[in-house]
């Protein structure tokens, strides 16, 4: 069975996922890339020749609609599809590639699967024509792979109430072992970090962009500082266009204990998860933030937005953190104070590390394989019935 998976760029954490799919018996896998890179992730640059599976870049035109979003228009993709005739095409979300796959199906009875990470929050405010086109793409799709409960619920809104489309679940994955190991730091390292920071610290990891809830995090911190007598640190790991806003906020309020650390590699980052008292993510829209898996693997309590796609699947209120409304600062502050008082860090670590095990490369890759085999088998049976 010949499988294509099409997306704009490849993220490093997906290499293992795609490799597992490619190594599956009886599957001929190819990754199609539509862009050379993303300006908000300059570190994500890989040559197709270096991948441990067949990878090809199809040239086209790339448009940026903001700091993060890019639209890839690749007309040659359709010609390539006709020539090579993949049995199943996996499309990342609703894109130009999904539209091409729809046309290919209508003309040549091809099969495509929509792989969805977005949620009702990330996909809101679409125009009526775009919503109508998405419904058409969804209803013509052979099946779906969602990244979690919220992604699945969004896809259901595009389909008739009574439908028979197959759904499969593939959680995003990271090398959790790396964060489990690096989060364990000894007494001397803790002493050194406390000299640099504060005795109590809140951690944020991610791009410094508005949709990550940076403004809400700063407002929460402002309220928390008034609650604690001793110094409280806010450590921000990442980079982005809101760095200047954070620096201005820090200067305006004389908050010397806000630290902007920039990008850190995983080895260094793990220590911050292990050292800090609370991980906070107040995204206004966020499909499937990997930092949630990093925090789970490290065993740090989590305060996470209800608009983060994977929150409902991996954060259990009062067990390993809380899910909060990022626009309700009073609620966020209250829950943060509660979590900061928790003394059962070891129990939280064990609970979270057990929970995050369901986001593993083997099961996530198998979901794609099962989806492709299912729609291919169904189409084969239908074609044989038609030929008879």
Residues 196-211, mean pLDDT to the nearest whole number: 95
Confidence bin at 215 (pLDDT 50/70/90) = very high
Domains of the chain, CATH where assigned: 2-173+360-387 (3.40.50.2000), 176-358 (3.40.50.2000)
For residue 219, give every residue at least 6 positions away whose Cβ sits within 8 Å of its Cβ, in sequence order, or none.
329
Q: What is the mean pLDDT of residues 17-41?
A: 90
Look-up: residue for tokens 């099962």? 370
* Average pLDDT of span 327-349: 96
Stretch 35-45: mean pLDDT, rounded?
Answer: 73
Q: pLDDT category, 385, cuts 50, 70, 90?
A: very low
Q: pLDDT category, 387, cuts 50, 70, 90? A: very low
Section 41-61 average pLDDT:
86
Band of residue 37 on the pLDDT scale cut at 50, 70, 90: confident
Res 40 pLDDT > 80: no
Mean pLDDT across the stretch 247-266?
Answer: 95
The answer to which of 66-70, 190-194, 302-306, 319-323 has the lowest mean pLDDT is 66-70
Residue that wins the pLDDT comparison between 21 and 45 = 21
**Is pLDDT at 342 greater than 80 in this prediction?**
yes
* pLDDT score, position 386: 46
List all residues 6 or more positions away from 144 whose beta carbon is below 8 Å from its beta carbon: 113, 114, 115, 116, 138, 152, 155, 165, 166, 167, 168, 371
Residue 77 has pLDDT above 90, yes or no: yes
Query: Per-residue pLDDT for 161 more than 80?
Result: yes
pLDDT band at 382 (very low <50, low <70, confident <90, very high): low
**Segment 83-124, tens digit of pLDDT:** 999 999 999 999 999 999 999 999 999 999 999 999 999 999
The percentage of residues in the chain with a pLDDT greater than 70, rounded to a whole number, is 96
Give pairs for 223-229: CB < 8 Å, separation 24+: 223/329, 223/333, 224/333, 224/336, 224/337, 225/255, 227/333, 227/337, 228/200
In this predicted structure, the answer to whether residue 185 has a pLDDT above a threshold of 50 is yes
pLDDT mean over 180-184: 87
Ranges 41-45, 87-91, 246-250, 333-337: which has the least confidence: 41-45
Residue 39 pLDDT grade (very low, low, confident, very high; cuts 50, 70, 90): low
Report d(CA 324, CA 333) in Å as an integer.
10
């Amino acid at each position: 069975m010949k499988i294509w998976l099409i997306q704009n760029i490849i993220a490093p954490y997906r290499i293992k996922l795609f490799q597992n799919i490619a190594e599956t018996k009886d599957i001929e896998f190819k990754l199609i890339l539509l862009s050379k890179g993303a300006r908000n992730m300059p570190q994500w640059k890989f040559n197709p020749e270096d991948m441990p599976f067949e990878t090809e870049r199809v040239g086209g035109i790339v448009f940026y609609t903001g700091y993060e979003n890019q639209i890839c228009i690749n007309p040659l993709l359709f010609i390539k599809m006709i020539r090579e005739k993949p049995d199943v095409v996996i499309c990342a979300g609703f894109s130009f590639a999904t539209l091409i796959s729809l046309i290919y199906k209508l003309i040549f009875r091809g099969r495509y699967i929509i792989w969805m990470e977005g949620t009702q929050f990330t996909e809101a405010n679409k125009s009526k024509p775009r919503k109508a086109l998405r419904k058409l793409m969804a209803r013509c799709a052979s099946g779906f792979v969602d990244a979690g409960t919220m992604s699945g619920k969004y896809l259901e809104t595009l389909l008739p109430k009574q439908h028979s489309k197959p759904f499969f679940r593939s959680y995003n994955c990271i090398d959790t072992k790396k964060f489990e190991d690096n989060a364990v730091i000894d007494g001397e390292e803790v002493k050194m970090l406390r000299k640099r920071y504060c005795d109590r610290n809140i951690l944020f990891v991610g791009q410094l962009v508005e949709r990550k809830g940076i403004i809400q995090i700063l407002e929460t911190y402002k309220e928390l500082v008034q609650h604690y007598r001793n110094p409280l640190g806010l450590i921000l790991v990442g980079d982005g266009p809101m760095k200047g806003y954070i620096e201005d906020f820090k200067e305006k309020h004389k908050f010397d204990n806000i630290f902007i650390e920039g990008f850190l590699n995983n080895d260094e980052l793990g220590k911050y998860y292990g050292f800090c008292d609370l991980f906070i993510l107040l995204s206004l829209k966020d499909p499937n933030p990997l930092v949630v898996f990093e925090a789970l693997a490290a065993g740090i309590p989590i305060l996470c937005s209800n608009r983060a796609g994977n929150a409902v699947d991996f954060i259990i209120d009062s067990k390993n953190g809380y899910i909060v409304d990022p626009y309700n600062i009073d609620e966020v502050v209250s829950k943060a104070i509660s979590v900061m008082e928790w003394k059962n860090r070891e129990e939280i670590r064990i609970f979270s590390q057990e929970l995050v095990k369901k986001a593993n490369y083997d099961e996530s890759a198998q979901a794609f394989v099962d989806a492709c085999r299912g729609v291919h088998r169904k189409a084969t049976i239908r074609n044989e019935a038609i030929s008879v």
